[in-house]
Chains A and B, each alone.
Chain A
Amino acid sequence: MVQYSSDRLDAAYAALSDATRRGVLEQLGHADSSITDLAQTFHMTLTGMRKHVGVLEQAELVSTKKVGRVRTCRLGPRRLEDETAWIERHRRLWESRFDELDKVVEQLQRKEKADGRNERE
């Protein structure tokens, strides 16, 4: 079950903060690719590319599948219509409600203080 989707957004944005990883996403946008091919394309070691793919995978921007001895990478599985988006919608609704509720509570507190002062005067 998905919890606290802002953490996942953070993971996605963190994953996107690196130029190589953005390049990998772009590459996978054209075609699925093995880690070996990606490493060659980006002039990196296999280990280095595995790390980048791992970060993208954790952010759910990329999924990998091992077929035989080759690990193939593809875009996804994150898309708008998944449960992350569902919970994000609810979070946004309640955050905007509660931001307004903050104002109401603040206003009530101010009023209470002012009334208290008036009574003393």
Chain B
Amino acid sequence: MDATSESEPTLMENDAKVERTSDRELVVTRTFNGPARLVFEAWTKPELFRQWWVPKSLGMSLLSCEMDVRVGGGYRLEFDVGAAQPVAFFGTYSEVTPHSRLAWTNEESDEGSVTTVTFAEHGGKTFLVMHELYPSKEALDDAGTGAADAMGESFEQLDELLVTLGASDGPS
């Protein structure tokens, strides 16, 4: 894919684009206002990674984060999800190309995905593509998004609005 044509349309806005490109694939794209080496650093240094990977809205907190970023190296993230036992996510890095490409497996279940992230720099900005490939449609259907699962806030607001409308008096 040509990175130039990819990055152009996204320069206008900074919203992440999320697309289910097939039954088993999820693609998220976003442009970052900084060079690829810095964005890559933020994905590969645990002390930086932990600053952004677990936003408050996820409803979990990160207990530990270990990353051995080299081909064949492992990572392990442990989350406090409010249960007695922490939940661990772990896997292995399968591709590490500094500042341009990163891939890893998710091995905490048989239904784990393979994640590939590419970084393309243009004019001091970085166009990032995150691609997740799941072993089955069902695995992607069930892929967790943390506490956000229960929210879907915009839609809830819309539903509430519809309920309110339904409850109000009709036109005369």
CB closest chain-A residue, reference B56: A96
Q: Which of B79-87, B98-106, B146-154 lies at the binding interface?
A: B146-154
Residues from chain A with a CB closer than 8 A to the CB of B69 are none
CB of B151, distance to nearest CB on chain A (Å): 7
Name which of A87, A96, A101 has the most chain B CB atoms within 10 A of its CB: A101
B42 and A108 form a contact (CB under 8 A): yes
CA distance A101 to B39 in the complex (A): 8
Say yes or no: A92-B57 contact (C-beta < 8 A), given A104-B48, A109-B38: yes
Say yes or no: A12-B32 contact (C-beta < 8 A), given A90-B26, A104-B48: no
A94 and B16 form a contact (CB under 8 A): yes
B170 and A23 form a contact (CB under 8 A): yes
Is residue B68 within 8 Å, beta carbon to beta carbon, of the partner chain? no
Residues of A65-104 contacting chain B, CB below 8 A: 79-80, 83-104
Is residue A58 within 8 Å, beta carbon to beta carbon, of the partner chain? no
Given contact pairs A98-B52, A108-B48, enumerate 20 new A-B contacts (beta carbons under 8 Å): A4-B18, A6-B15, A9-B158, A16-B158, A22-B165, A26-B168, A30-B166, A80-B152, A80-B155, A80-B159, A88-B154, A89-B145, A89-B152, A90-B28, A92-B153, A95-B15, A96-B57, A96-B148, A101-B52, A103-B52
**Residues of chain A whose beta carbon lies under 8 Å from any beta carbon of chain B:** 1-6, 9, 12-13, 16, 22-23, 25-27, 29-30, 41-42, 61, 79-80, 83-106, 108-109, 112
